[in-house]
Chains A and B, each alone.
Chain A
């Protein structure tokens, strides 16, 4: 229990540090968010009025403390809703996302002019869906190739795959994405070129190409890691003993080696989940997948303070949670680790 509390406390401390650092770094950057809202050609008088409206004329410390004070609070009033037709909340709570009586006030985006909590609530599930789909592809591609290479005798397939993977790793995601888009969406017209879709079926179609792009790219890296882990495991005494006792190669690979290689692989997969949620910037932009990553980049480019803080906060939470998830998976895969801290952090 103490360990759990310590973990929660350190997590909160990390999030506080990330939010504070983001806030102050964005203040130090030489830029004027009010001018970016008004447009680069706006006249100084109009920029000044918009600065007052956004509250950017207040001292930095006042802005910081009022942000922190509002960030988490308790109220019985309703907050902002995803449903535009819903009754508008009171002025004090118009930007709040709610979890029962707990309100999260992430402020209002300067550029999008909507509550940050609503923008993130809209986009976060889409980023998670894409991350999970991409991880599925990554696992399929990575583990599939590693097993194929390891199980095929003579090592010819393995060598070819290994050399090919070096080329595959060199292809940036945007090129892979464009090529997939060209073949499957434009030439074969099996899938939409980009977009998100209106119905569940349309969305299931729309997620395929971005998930393939991320998954293939991640899968190639994962293949190299899985291959090396499998080969290490096959060199261990228990694998050699199993072979000496007459176990088939397939059995040794799938039952003995894979079980032991799974420990670092599971860690990597879990950690990748956090990275994919907040880091699929290029893929989200290329396929117009409306997720959190593209939002965070536009927030940074527009110096949209509240939106930047909100996306950084949510992405940090995703990474922290995926770390916790990795820890718990770790103890499931390796019974020896139950009740202990994780020793291997993966890549």
Chain B
């Protein structure tokens, strides 16, 4: 007997005997936040590092947000608000930010936080010896190159004229600087962190939670506890937050049902669909804002995608609704580069849509007419598609193969390991067609356009522009958007970029991705944060004695 079939049969039998679960209710009736308790969350992934200045894992950001306070932060609507800074202003020429710090803020080690600590932390983050994967985002801070090349001992663009003032000078106006500064990357760290990164340093900042002594068991869990000296009085409510790593989704589901996990994030599609239809779960399901998008990159330097008409044909041939149905709880159709949860997304912007007749017309114009009835004609060669081994990608590749067959393009699927996929797809003239996805490094449309589609992101190997799309006009508009500080004017530029992408079709944009979360009724004050997913300082627990 087939092993998998037997296994599935046994497990399904057991699972079917399980009565439908319901959320564990809250104990009280009031809405007054209660203090205390431990919140437990889990992930199938691992967090490799918690040092905000070297953390590369997406999930590290929500722990770092809880442990480290920044000059500014994102509020629960995604707007940028002062945090350690009481206020800030930008010079008229748009190149100098001045931050005025609160007084009396204490680090977790008990020392007071001064402006020089902010500058010290910025220099530590951008030091050449710190493995900061985001350092180059800050290259427009004056003196960045000299400091990175160790020509100057200090970063001239970041100064502390007095104890409460931090000044950041830029070489030119940069609309991305505030969202970048609101990330955790440059946040002040305790003095024991030293001048550069060290593997053995344990997180210590000025945020609402601090790392419990021995609370980071690498590969297994991290536990943070309430910082009683947090500068926002009355916050946080929780005594402790524990995040478990490497917990497979099946174990997570069992733990969640038993109330051992309070917020369940890695929900399978089947369970998600069941709960979304179940009125008992209505108030306990939440979507994180979509910060990720996916689609297919067509290498514009390789045949047949050096022909814009073939690219347009592919972009029109993709029946996005079918792709959405592969994971309906998480995928939303997206015909443009910017996902719905990112600043710069415009639902009315030009977007790609499914239109097979148009696709066939584009094939004709490209010189490869195809008759869908007789199946004659089309592109004569077989195109190689490269993706990596992952459930959704494997299914999407097959759908694409069918969609392209309908317009006369034959495609073979090559699925490789993730490291090999990264190496292959970023190498020049190596892969004609590939699965691609991007998550916001910071919630601004510029991040997507710059990384995925400008010629600056093309490299012989290791670049992030997998379509090798090179359009000087596009590049220059992306630059204009970065320099444009007026949000409305910037949006107009982004809309122009969307229009160009519809015309040039370097990608077939397919979907955006959002995660479904479930909580029990006793988890209060929780709404997925637009940037951090979980903002632990606003959550409180209303558990009964028996729960």
A201 within 8 A of B: no
**Interface range for A:** 35 or more
Distance between Cα atoms of A113 and B464 in the complex (Å) = 25
Q: Which residue of chain B has the shortest Cβ distance to A173 in the bound complex?
A: B7
B134 pairs with A36, CB closer than 8 A? no
Which A172-223 residues have a C-beta within 8 angstroms of B?
172, 174-176, 178-179, 181-183, 185-186, 189, 193-196
Q: How far is the CB of B59 from chain A (nearest CB, A)?
A: 12
Q: How far is the CB of B324 from chain A (nearest CB, A)?
A: 24
A114 within 8 A of B: yes
Which B107-143 residues have a C-beta within 8 angstroms of A?
128-129, 131-137
* In the complex, chain B residues whose CB is within 8 Å of the CB of A42: 56, 133-134
B218 pairs with A112, CB closer than 8 A? yes
B246 within 8 A of A: yes
B422 pairs with A40, CB closer than 8 A? yes
B423 within 8 A of A: yes
B219 pairs with A290, CB closer than 8 A? yes
A-B pair count, CB < 8 Å, reads: 150
Of A50, A108, A186, the residue contacting B133 (CB under 8 A) is: A50
Of B49, B202, B254, the residue contacting A181 (CB under 8 A) is: B254
A43 pairs with B10, CB closer than 8 A? no
Of B56, B254, B461, the residue contacting A39 (CB under 8 A) is: B56
Q: How far is the CB of A292 from chain B (nearest CB, A)?
A: 12
A303 within 8 A of B: yes
- Identify which of B74-82, B255-263, B360-368 touches chain A: B255-263
Q: How far is the CB of B130 from chain A (nearest CB, A)?
A: 9
A57 within 8 A of B: no
Distance between Cα atoms of A193 and B257 in the complex (Å) = 12
Q: Which residue of chain B has the shortest Cβ distance to A295 in the bound complex?
A: B219
A88 pairs with B200, CB closer than 8 A? yes
Distance between Cα atoms of A84 and B134 in the complex (Å) = 28
* In the complex, chain B residues whose CB is within 8 Å of the CB of A185: 254
* In the complex, chain A residues whose CB is within 8 Å of the CB of B254: 181-182, 185-186, 193
* In the complex, chain A residues whose CB is within 8 Å of the CB of B202: 84
Distance between Cα atoms of A162 and B66 in the complex (Å) = 57
* In the complex, chain A residues whose CB is within 8 Å of the CB of B443: none
A154 within 8 A of B: no
B517 within 8 A of A: no
B11 pairs with A29, CB closer than 8 A? no
A111 within 8 A of B: yes
**A171 in contact with B6 given A29-B420, A43-B457, A50-B133 (CB within 8 Å):** yes
B151 within 8 A of A: no
* In the complex, chain B residues whose CB is within 8 Å of the CB of A290: 219-220
B462 pairs with A171, CB closer than 8 A? no
B251 pairs with A172, CB closer than 8 A? no
**A179 in contact with B248 given A31-B422, A42-B56, A302-B419 (CB within 8 Å):** no
B439 within 8 A of A: yes
B441 within 8 A of A: yes
A31 pairs with B419, CB closer than 8 A? yes
Distance between Cα atoms of A182 and B247 in the complex (Å) = 15
B11 pairs with A112, CB closer than 8 A? no
* In the complex, chain A residues whose CB is within 8 Å of the CB of B4: 172, 175
Flag A58-76 by CB within 8 Å of B: 1 or 0 each: 0000000000000000000
Distance between Cα atoms of A130 and B313 in the complex (Å) = 56
B451 within 8 A of A: yes
Q: How far is the CB of B200 from chain A (nearest CB, A)?
A: 6
A44 within 8 A of B: yes
Max chain A Cβ within 10 angstroms of own Cβ: one of B2, B6, B254: B254
B7 pairs with A112, CB closer than 8 A? no
B463 within 8 A of A: yes
* In the complex, chain B residues whose CB is within 8 Å of the CB of A179: 10-11, 14
Q: How far is the CB of B456 from chain A (nearest CB, A)?
A: 9
Q: Which residue of chain A has the shortest Cβ distance to B463 in the bound complex?
A: A44
B417 within 8 A of A: yes
A2 within 8 A of B: no
Q: How far is the CB of A217 from chain B (nearest CB, A)?
A: 11
B48 pairs with A113, CB closer than 8 A? yes
* In the complex, chain B residues whose CB is within 8 Å of the CB of A285: 246, 248
A288 pairs with B422, CB closer than 8 A? no
B438 within 8 A of A: yes
B418 within 8 A of A: yes
B423 pairs with A30, CB closer than 8 A? yes
B424 within 8 A of A: yes
Of A44, A47, A111, A170, the residue contacting B1 (CB under 8 A) is: A170
A6 within 8 A of B: no
* In the complex, chain B residues whose CB is within 8 Å of the CB of A30: 419-420, 423-424
Q: How far is the CB of A321 from chain B (nearest CB, A)?
A: 26
A38 within 8 A of B: yes
B3 within 8 A of A: yes
Distance between Cα atoms of A58 and B411 in the complex (Å) = 39
A102 within 8 A of B: no
**A32 in contact with B48 given A39-B56, A46-B132 (CB within 8 Å):** no
Please give the residue numbers on chain B whose beta carbons come within 8 Å of chain A beta carbons, in ascending order: 1-4, 6-8, 10-11, 14-15, 46, 48-49, 56-57, 128-129, 131-137, 148, 199-200, 202, 218-220, 244, 246-248, 250-251, 254-255, 257-258, 260, 417-420, 422-424, 438-439, 441, 451, 457, 459, 461-464
In addition to A113-B49, A176-B7, A290-B219, 4 A-B residue pairs with Cβ atoms within 8 Å of each other are: A42-B133, A112-B48, A194-B247, A288-B220
Please give the residue numbers on chain A whose beta carbons come within 8 Å of chain B beta carbons, in ascending order: 29-33, 35-47, 49-50, 53, 84, 88, 108, 111-114, 167, 170-172, 174-176, 178-179, 181-183, 185-186, 189, 193-196, 285-286, 288, 290, 294, 298, 301-303
A selection of 16 A-B contacts at a CB cut-off of 8 Å is: A29-B420, A31-B419, A36-B419, A39-B133, A41-B439, A44-B462, A44-B464, A84-B200, A113-B48, A114-B218, A167-B6, A175-B10, A183-B14, A186-B258, A193-B258, A294-B246
* 5 closest cross-chain pairs (CB), A and B: A175-B7, A31-B419, A39-B56, A38-B133, A42-B133
